[in-house]
């Protein structure tokens, strides 16, 4: 059992050390430029920026984007299932169908949860 974990532990340690080494190398070798307030202002088509850098974007935009990505990825998982299900009716067809029913129940529960939490309303 321990022999099987040695490569995983080695890879974990290697990834941590490699990531830390890259962060150190970038902070050590990176430029040390201090930008002025004028350089930090947004620039659009030759017109000086009107807003400051700390423009607030309402949370509903982020929530909508996250929900779109979440439900879009779940729907993408249904396409390969439909292709496999038609070919596997002889063997594990019932199990695969039950598996998708559970997946759809979780998806519908998530949709109703977001709906009840008023995550889909813009007001």
Q: Quick check: is 105 in a domain? A: yes
pLDDT value of position 97: 82
Domain shared by 74 and 38, yes or no: no
The interaxial angle of helices 59-87 and 93-116, nearest 10 deg, is 170
**pLDDT over 70 (residue 43):** no
Q: Is 51 a residue whose pLDDT tops 70?
A: no
**One domain, residues 66 and 105:** yes
Question: 67 and 18 share a domain?
Answer: no
Are 40 and 70 in a shared domain?
A: no
**Is residue 122 in a domain?**
no
123 found inside a domain: no
Where residue 33 falls among pLDDT bands split at 50, 70, 90?
A: confident
Domain residues for the domain of 99 are 59-116
pTM of the model: 0.48
């Amino acid at each position: 059992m321990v022999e099987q974990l040695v490569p995983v532990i080695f890879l974990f340690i290697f990834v941590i050390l490699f990531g830390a080494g890259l962060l150190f190398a970038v902070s050590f070798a990176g430029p040390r430029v201090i930008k002025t307030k004028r350089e930090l202002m947004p620039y659009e088509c030759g017109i000086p920026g009107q807003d400051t850098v700390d423009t607030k974007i309402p949370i509903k935009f982020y929530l909508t984007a996250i929900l779109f990505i979440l439900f879009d990825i779940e729907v993408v998982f249904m396409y390969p299932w439909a292709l496999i299900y038609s070919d596997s009716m002889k063997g594990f067809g019932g199990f695969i169908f039950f598996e998708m029913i559970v997946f759809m129940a979780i998806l519908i529960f998530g949709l109703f949860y977001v709906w009840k939490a008023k995550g889909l309303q813009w007001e």
